[in-house]
Amino acid sequence: MIVSQFLVLSAALFALGVYGLLVRRNAVLVLLSIELMLSAVTINLVAFGAFHDDPLFTGSVFALFVITVAAAEVGIGIAIVLMIFRARRSANVDELDLMKW
Amino acid sequence: MEWFDNGWGLSLTVFLPLVGAAVVMALPRRNELAVKSTALVFASLSLLTSIIVALRFDYGDTSQFQMGTDLAWIEAISSRFHIGVDGISLPLLVLSTAITVLSVIYSWNHWPEPHNPKAFLVLMLVLATGMAGTFVALDLILFFVFFEVVLLPMYFMIGIWGDRTKRRLAGLGVEVEMRLYASIKFFLFTLFGSAFMLLGFLALFFKAEPNTFDMVALSELGRAGVFTGTFGFWVFAALFLGFAVKVPMWPFHTWLPDAHTAAPTVGSVLLAAILLKLGTYGFVRISLPILPQQAQDWAPAIAILAVISIIYGSLACLAQTDVKRLIAFSSVGHMGFVMLGIATLTDIGINAAVIGMVAHGIITGLLFFLAGSMQHRYHTREMSRLGGNMKLMPVLGGILGFTAMASLGLPGLAGFWGEFMALLGSFNPLDGLNLGVFRTAMVLGAVGTVLTAGYLLWMLQRVNLGEVPAEWASKEFHDADGFELAAWVPLVLATLIIGIWPKAVFGATNDAVVSLVERTFG
Amino acid sequence: MFLAAEEGEKVELVGGFLAEWAWLIPVVPLVAAAAIVFFGKRLPYKGWELAVGALGFVAVYGTALLIGHAMTPMGFEDHVTLVDAGTVPGLGDLVLEWGWTVDGLSIMMYFLVGVVGFFVFTYAKGYMEGDVRFTWFFAAFTLFAGTMLVLVSAPNMIQLIVGWEGVGLSSYLLIGHYWEDMENVWAGNKAFITNKIADIGLFLGVIVFAIGAGSFRFLDVFEAVESGAISSGFAVAGALLIFLGAMGKSGQFPLHVWLPDAMAGPTPVSSLMHAATMVTAGVYLIARMFPVFDAPAVAGDIRWLLITIGVITLFATGLIALVQDDIKKVLAYSTLSQLGYMTAAVGAGAYTAGLFHLFTHAFFKALLFLAAGSVIHAVHSNNMSDMGGLRSAMPHTFRTFVIGSLALAGILPFAGFWSKDEILATLNHDGYTAALVVATAGAFVTAFYMGRAVFLTFFGEYRGQGQPHESPPIMTVPLYGLAAGAVFFGFLNVPGLYTGFTDWVTARVFVPQEYHPESIDFVVGGIGLLVALAGIAAAYVLFFRDAESQAARDRFSIPVLYPILENKYFIDDFYMKGIINPTRLQIAAAVNWSNDRIIDFAVNAAGVATRVAARFVYDILDQLGIDFGINAAGAVTGEAGGALRLTQTGKVQQYAAVVVAGAVLLAAGFIIFA
């Protein structure tokens, strides 16, 4: 089994995620991009876990953690975005500079 | 009641007002009734405990400190919480708590601008603690703390609620706002004196073996002749400066007219009735017993300054146009009699001083109440604009007439005893004092009583008598109201009672003074 | 045992039921005065009934005491039953105390104050009817009598001072009764201040004696003076100082100036003040302390002074009375003149004669004032130039006024003749010839000005406004009561016939060594009477036949003397312009100036200098020096922060881009260097 294939996939996904994070103006899409980046990390973890033949399945366990954290993150993130949208009728990230100095 | 006699009674008297101040501070500012009632309750409780102290006091043994306690306080400098009263401090303690209660009652519907009863009452209660504490403290540091505690509330009272008119300082061309000028002058003047006083205390502390701030112990050392020579001279000078400013003696008196004139009514009352007594009390309690030799050296000088105060204060009164300023200057003269009594170093003189202090507290306090109420109604203190007060407000005018008569030392009223006995004492001062100085002082003091009568009659003439000026003729004036009478009538009665029955004061002071003089100078 | 005592010997104290309760005499009027202040207005007669009741009580009690005393002489003194006012320590038994005295001297005064006061108070109801401050007037009036009784009853000097100043206070209140008018207020102030000046003497005298004797009680003082415990130097000094006090109250030259001005008060006040209270206090004080003044160590040094002052007063003030137009002022100056007689008598050692004159004078002077008040009430003017011819309109007033005038002028057989004669006889016997001559001349002056007053007021044509009417009975009846005294009380002490008064007024403990005429001194008495008749005749010549006052005055005016007299020897002017005004205006202003410009200037200058120094320290050293460094550091930090904060855009994606860039850089670095 060759790790590099998984790594390439993961890197590609991560790059896509970074791109979306930096470029997208809609907060929901920004959150989706973050999910993409987390997925890339998860793929890495699972791949390294399988490759190492770890009796404790550390890689898979961490993958599960990441998935849980990602779900929680999305939950809170979407909730904030919804509140902001309600208050300002917009989910545009550029306009969210309330807390600037 | 064992606990009461073991210091709790005195501690309650002293600290109840402070507790009251804390409680008042916690109350909402807008609920004025609650604020006022709380302050009144705590002030009255303090008065009540002081009266219980007076009732439980053993009058057979007035020269001993009673009802007190002696607890560890600041170990590092061996300063102790040592309190107690004897026959000299007891009348003054009761006077201070009583005047506080009357001031609260008077304030009930007489608030100076800016209207803030809560803050005013808090300051008044803190002041009450300071005043009562000074009279019971038997430790120099404790005494000093209470002595200084008094300063701040009075500073704020004058500075915040004082007179806002502007005045140009003579000869300097600087324009000042009276309340700020007077409050700062009062504060700095007193602090100037008390700084030296503290130095004196420290000097005594280090000279005493073992080091102590305890007045009783220091008095014993003083009698044994520990504090003599140049050291004693400078210590007495330092203490003299501290107390003389507070009395105030000529030429340290100039803060007094300004502070009195600028202060709100209750501030003037407390200032005249109690604060001035702290100085004279300090002389009797600290300077004389601890430094007997120096007291004898300084006595002629003090007598001379006292007589200057009497004559000078009375003459200055004759030149005043402002009724409060006139009363303020009259304090200089009256306290001159008290100091003359002290300077004789005899039991007659010091008894005269104590009854003079009490009488001056009652009478001049009442005069300031009256002046304040008149200002409240006329919105002016200029005597040239007043007149016919007796016709507009017969009750207020009548009480003013009575009080003026008491103030000029009419025999049969309280003011007489202090003046007459001070003169009596200065005919025969302590053996060894210069007879010429004291007998001259006696004659000049007697001349001072004439001048006193002169300015008070003149004041009555300008304020109370004559036709009502056109300015007021068409106006409606309401005569003294219930709260005013409630504050004044006890003072009027006290003036009468002490006048007819001076034993009310002498009964407590006499033995204490006799033993003080005997032990110290005997 | 009292009567058996020889002159100069001590007698024992005896009292009785009446004496033990005599403390009520001062207390009842004082209580009544307080009651009138608080409840007077609600009573049917507005408080007058309390006042007259109190005085009636004193009159009855005083009379009872006098009768009791005449039967069994009393000498009683007590201190304890009232208030023990506390001990003055360090001087043995120098005790402050209240008490009361019952002896011949005080009984005479109780009787006098009570009886004369009762008549005056009765009269005052009519006189003061409709007054704005009717109730207050009677409160102060009762206080006046009450404080006088405190003074009289005093067994010690402290109580005497209390009563003494209390009398001064009440007179101040009463003289200034119409205080809307500043003139009256000034008169009240003048009385109070003049008396206060004299009180310096009283205070210091009391101090001298009290310290010397170790007690305030008169008896102890007498004993100390007698035994020599008080050295003669101190005793003389003390007596002089006490006399200074007496001069003030009894209006002796040159402290007499307040008394004529005191006429500003309502007439009943003048009447009581001149008769029984106030002015008699000074003479009473000398009488009370007579053992001191009479002590061999003192008398030699001080008699001449008392006589001189008395004689100057009696003559100088009598002359002023000649030129007064105000009928009350005539009477006022005549009072001063009569007080001069009393002082001279007491000074010469004629204790009984002086007191006897005080006693008779009280009746006829009270009468004269009340009668004058009745006239003033009728014509609404004090000036005799507005009167005249009132004889027919006011018959009762006329009759009583004439009786009073004859008594005052010293015409046989009225009271004034007997008392004045005794004084003259004593001066004659003791060899004070110069004083006798002046006093006799004074009798001429007295008769002259009283004749003038009678003729100008009751004879000739009426010169005033309106139609005068006789006063109501409540005013005229007391006039007759007092007139009876002015007629008959002279017979209480007729040498050779009946000398009850001499025994009555003998003070307890010490019987003064004095001269009592064995029989009437016909030479002196005859000369006195002739001189008085001559005075009346002179007045008749000048004023009766041509009662038009201006013409009479013109004929009477003596170029140099007249202006001097009209200006009262310029003494008032001297006091006012020479002492009072400079003190009140210039000296007081100078003191105030020095206060503001010197002492307070020093304080303020110190304050300002401190402020200047503070400015320097603050502006230059602090602000430009130390604080500049601190501020510079702060400013640099602030500026830097200001620049840097621009990078904080708040845009999340920019931050993320930076993070990514950083990560990329780190990764690149890792790759390159690893």
**B465, two tokens:** 């008598």
Which residues of chain B are within 8 Å of residue C87 when distances are taken between CB atoms?
A: 506, 510
Chain segment C140-177, per-residue pLDDT in tens: 889 998 999 999 888 888 889 999 999 989 888 888 88
Instruction: Tell me the residues of chain B between 241 and 270 that have a Cβ less than 8 Å away from chain C.
Output: 250-251, 253-255
Q: H helices then E strands: how many in chain A?
A: 3, 0
Confidence of residue B304 (pLDDT cuts 50, 70, 90): very high
According to the model, what pLDDT value does residue B370 have? 93
Which residues of chain B are within 8 Å of residue C91 when distances are taken between CB atoms?
A: 348
Cα B393 from Cα B387, distance rounded (Å): 11
Chain segment B129-169, per-residue pLDDT in tens: 999 999 999 999 999 999 999 989 999 999 999 888 888 77
According to the model, what pLDDT value does residue C226 have? 81
| C313 neighbors C348 (Cβ within 8 angstroms) | no
Tell me the sheet residues that pair with B214: B139
Contact criterion met (CB < 8 Å) for B502 and C86: yes
Select, from the ranges C134-143, C575-584, C600-609, the one with the highest average predicted confidence (pLDDT).
Answer: C134-143
Which residue on chain C is closest to A19 by alpha carbon?
Answer: C657
| B385 neighbors B392 (Cβ within 8 angstroms) | no
According to the model, what pLDDT value does residue C545 have? 62
Using alpha carbons, select from C355, C332, C294 the residue that is nearest to residue C109: C355
Backbone angles phi, psi at C43, to 5 degrees: -85, 155
Residue B25: CB partners within 8 Å, gap ≥ 6? Answer: B118, B122
Q: How far, in whole angstroms, is CA B264 from its chain's centroid?
A: 17
Cα B179 from Cα B198, distance rounded (Å): 28
Which residue on chain A is closest to C657 by alpha carbon?
Answer: A22
Instruction: Return the HEC string of B322-373.
Output: EHHHHHHHHHHHHHHHHHHHHHHCCHHHHHHHHHHHHHHHHHHHHHHHHHHH
**B446, two tokens:** 């007697």
B424 Cα to chain C: minimum distance (Å) = 6
CA distances from C493 to C20, C353, C400 (A): 28, 9, 23
Mean pLDDT score across all residues of chain B: 89
Does residue C10 surpass a pLDDT of 60?
no
Determine the average pLDDT of the residues in C250-271.
Answer: 83
CA distances from C411 to B364, B393, B506, C344 (A): 56, 52, 56, 21
Contact criterion met (CB < 8 Å) for C207 and B424: yes
According to the model, what pLDDT value does residue B389 have? 86
Contact criterion met (CB < 8 Å) for C650 and A97: yes
**B483, two tokens:** 């709260």
| C170 neighbors C57 (Cβ within 8 angstroms) | no
Cα C562 from Cα C572, distance rounded (Å): 16
CA distances from C22 to C35, C57, C298 (A): 21, 11, 33
- Which pairing describes strands B66-74 and B79-85: parallel, antiparallel, or unpaired? antiparallel
Q: For chain B, state the CA radius of gyration.
A: 22
Which residue on chain C is closest to A30 by alpha carbon?
Answer: C653
CA-angle at B194, arms to C599 and B336, nearest 5°: 50
Confidence of residue B243 (pLDDT cuts 50, 70, 90): very high
Backbone angles phi, psi at B214, to 5 degrees: -75, 125
According to the model, what pLDDT value does residue C314 have? 86
Chain segment B258-290, per-residue pLDDT in tens: 899 899 999 999 999 999 999 999 999 999 999
| B348 neighbors B424 (Cβ within 8 angstroms) | yes
Touch criterion met for A and B (3+ Cβ pairs within 8 Å): no
Residue C541: CB partners within 8 Å, gap ≥ 6? Answer: none
Instruction: Tell me the residues of chain B between 487 and 506 that have a Cβ less than 8 Å away from chain C.
Output: 500-503, 505-506
Contact criterion met (CB < 8 Å) for B347 and C89: yes
ipTM of the complex: 0.90
Which pairs with CB-CB distance under 8 Å and at least 24 residues apart come from C586-595?
Answer: C587/B315, C587/B318, C588/B315, C588/B316, C588/B317, C588/B318, C588/B319, C589/B319, C591/B312, C591/B315, C591/B316, C591/B318, C591/B319, C592/B315, C592/B316, C592/B319, C592/B320, C595/B254, C595/B312, C595/B316
Q: For chain C, state the CA radius of gyration.
A: 37
Q: Higher-confidence residue: C329 or C579?
A: C329
Mean pLDDT score across all residues of chain C: 80
Q: How does DSSP classify residue C350?
A: -
Cα B418 from Cα B277, distance rounded (Å): 14
CA distances from B383 to B319, B326, C187 (A): 11, 10, 20
Give me the residue from C176, C207, C592 closest to B319, CB to CB: C592
Confidence of residue C513 (pLDDT cuts 50, 70, 90): low
* B384 CB neighbour count, 10 Å cutoff: 10
Share of residues in chain C with pLDDT > 90 (%)? 3
Cα C190 from Cα C259, distance rounded (Å): 9
Cα B381 from Cα B393, distance rounded (Å): 16
According to the model, what pLDDT value does residue B6 have? 87
According to the model, what pLDDT value does residue C4 have? 34
Does residue C89 surpass a pLDDT of 60?
no
Confidence of residue B384 (pLDDT cuts 50, 70, 90): confident
Does residue C6 surpass a pLDDT of 90?
no
Q: Quick one: angle between helices B503-521 and B482-500, nearest 10?
A: 60
Confidence of residue B211 (pLDDT cuts 50, 70, 90): confident
CA-angle at B222, arms to B216 and B227, nearest 5°: 135
Touch criterion met for A and C (3+ Cβ pairs within 8 Å): yes
- Which pairing describes strands B79-85 and C76-78: parallel, antiparallel, or unpaired? unpaired
| C458 neighbors C385 (Cβ within 8 angstroms) | no
Determine the average pLDDT of the residues in C90-106.
Answer: 71
Chain segment C73-85, per-residue pLDDT in tens: 676 666 543 344 4
Residue C650, chain A, CB below 8 Å: the answer is: yes
CB pairs under 8 A between B and C: 167
Got the DSSP string for B114-183? S--HHHHHHHHHHHHHHHHHHHHB-BHHHHHHHHHHTHHHHHHHHHHHS---EEEPTTT--EEEHHHHHH
Which residue on chain C is closest to A17 by alpha carbon?
Answer: C660
Select, from the ranges A22-36, B331-345, B420-434, the one with the highest average predicted confidence (pLDDT).
Answer: B331-345
Using alpha carbons, select from B208, B115, B229, B329 the residue that is nearest to residue C596: B329
Confidence of residue C553 (pLDDT cuts 50, 70, 90): low
Which residues of chain C are within 8 Å of residue A94 when distances are taken between CB atoms?
A: 651, 653
| B15 neighbors B145 (Cβ within 8 angstroms) | no
**B336, two tokens:** 């001159």
Backbone angles phi, psi at C295, to 5 degrees: -65, 140
How many residues appear in chain C?
674
Cα C56 from Cα C51, distance rounded (Å): 9
Got the DSSP string for C315-364? HHHHHHHHT--BHHHHHHHHHHHHHHHHHHHHHTT-HHHHHHHHHHHHHH
Contact criterion met (CB < 8 Å) for B391 and C603: no
Cα C398 from Cα C383, distance rounded (Å): 17
According to the model, what pLDDT value does residue B201 have? 92
Cα C489 from Cα C503, distance rounded (Å): 15
Cα C233 from Cα C237, distance rounded (Å): 6
Chain segment C645-655, per-residue pLDDT in tens: 777 777 778 88
Does residue C508 surpass a pLDDT of 60?
no
C225 Cα to chain B: minimum distance (Å) = 18
According to the model, what pLDDT value does residue C92 have? 47
| Single-letter residue type at C503 | D
Determine the average pLDDT of the residues in B502-519.
Answer: 85
**B515, two tokens:** 């033993």
Residue B520: CB partners within 8 Å, gap ≥ 6? Answer: B219, B222, B223, B288, B289, B292, B295
Chain segment B36-94, per-residue pLDDT in tens: 999 999 999 999 999 999 999 988 888 888 888 888 888 888 889 999 999 899 999 99
Contact criterion met (CB < 8 Å) for B510 and C604: no
Chain segment B103-112, per-residue pLDDT in tens: 999 998 888 8
Interface test with C, best of B63, B169, B383 (most C CBs within 10 A): B169
A97 Cα to chain C: minimum distance (Å) = 5
Confidence of residue B471 (pLDDT cuts 50, 70, 90): confident
